[in-house]
Structure 1
Amino acid sequence: MDRFVLTDAQWAKMEPHCLGKPSDPGRSGTDNRLFIEAVLWIVRTGSPWRDLPALFGNWSTVFRRFSDWRKADVFKRIFDAMSEEPDMEYAMVDATIVKVHRHGQGAKGGLRARPSAAPRAA
């Protein structure tokens, strides 16, 4: 399984916002990029943490690190860094992809005022 999601350009934007460095002692992790790839694998597949492939390391360690990063708002900083220059190529909306349902086009029918079931007072 050597198919990863991140490109080198994306990783270059993310790397300054990650916790720890390979030279730091403790639970900083030796490879932040592999950790991010593991998180993206979980998100992409929708699998539980226990099904994380061994390529990414022990699932429990990866989950604990994910939880630490979540509490430290690292993922928010990464998201903000990645969304500085949004690619609007896929955000274009026009009439070729957005259609009104036939009930909303002014066709006959629709909601009408119905007479009350109670008899009218004369």
Structure 2
Amino acid sequence: MSDLFWLTDAQMARLAPFFPRSHGKPRVEDRRVLSGIIFINRNGLRWRDAPAAYGPHKTLYSRWKRWSEKGIFARMMAGLAAEHGEKTTVMIDATYLKAHRTATSMAQKGGRGRLIGRTKGGMNTKLHAICDSQGRPIDLFVTAGQVSDYIGARALLSGLPNVKWLLGDRGYDADWFREALQDKGIRACIPGRKKRKTPIKYDKRRYKRRNRIEIMFGRLKDWRRVATRYVSIGTQL
């Protein structure tokens, strides 16, 4: 059982404020159930393949589905991300998440849809992200794979923290985006597209730090259910 994942006391203490109140019969132990949910998502297992140490797999799935629909997991991530304390630099980028055939064939009634699109690499979802200077995610936005980076940038713009710099690659070189950052008092460290008649000056030394958001994506994709989407987006990310 040494290879199983268990939330620590410190981690549970940070998550506890986001837990809903228990009405009537007490819930099954939160540490055991949440640890099991994380283990399943990290390894991309079927719920029925959950190790016995985490209890009945139906309990894990029921908690995952119920808390997802109520937005509890989303509030956890938003609350933890709000504690970043970043005041200097944030980074923006996007990555593709491969959609498994079991996800592409599933229709979702109502809501935002499956958010799966066809690209040169097949059926994909695109994950747009903002991270801090240490490579910790601050904000995430999900679209279908064929959606432009500009759409993700526009969606994430309003949630940018009050920082001095934003680092991004050439995919974010747009006059409207630079002007929007300037209005927020944020300096853009974004190289210009090659088609620009007038070259864009940027801080090359500072730009090298952008690899931290690439490292963040790599760590996220260590989680099997993030690297490859197996289910509809409503219960996936």
Common fold by TM > 0.5: yes
> How far did residue 41 of structure 1 move?
0.2
1:16 match: 17
Instruction: Indicate conservation of the 8 Å contact 1:18/1:32, yes or no.
Output: no
> Structure 1: how far apart are the matches of 2:10 and 2:77?
15
Given candidates 36, 46, 49, the residue that maps to 2:47 is: 49
- Name the aligned partner's letter for residue 41 of structure 2: V
**What are the residue-to-residue correspondences of 1:85-100 with 2, within 5 Å?**
85-86=83-84, 88-90=133-135, 94=208
Gaps (5+ residues) in structure 2? 85-131, 137-205, 213-237
Q: Which has the higher helix share?
A: 1
Count of paired positions: 95
Moved more, 55-64 or 80-89: 80-89
Deviations 1:65-85 (A, max 9, x none): 211111111101111121122
> Structure 1: how far apart are the matches of 2:31 and 2:79?
16
1:64 match: 62
Given candidates 71, 74, 81, the residue that maps to 2:72 is: 74
**TM-score with structure 2 length normalisation?**
0.35
> Structure 2: how far apart are the matches of 1:75 and 1:96?
28
> How far did residue 19 of structure 1 move?
2.6
> Structure 2: how far apart are the matches of 1:57 and 1:25?
21
Moved more, 86-95 or 65-74: 86-95
Q: Which has the higher strand share?
A: 2
Instruction: Indicate conservation of the 8 Å contact 1:42/1:52, yes or no.
Output: yes
> How far did residue 30 of structure 1 move?
2.8
> Structure 1: how far apart are the matches of 2:36 and 2:19?
14
> How far did residue 43 of structure 1 move?
1.1
**What SS class does the counterpart of residue 19 from structure 1 fall into?**
coil
Classify 1:5/1:58 alpha carbon distance in 2 versus 1 (closer, same or farther; 3 Å): closer
Classify 1:20/1:56 alpha carbon distance in 2 versus 1 (closer, same or farther; 3 Å): farther
- Name the aligned partner's letter for residue 80 of structure 1: A
> Structure 1: how far apart are the matches of 2:8 and 2:207?
27
Of structures 1 and 2, the larger Rg is shown by 1
- Name the aligned partner's letter for residue 9 of structure 1: A
> Structure 1: how far apart are the matches of 2:207 and 2:31?
34
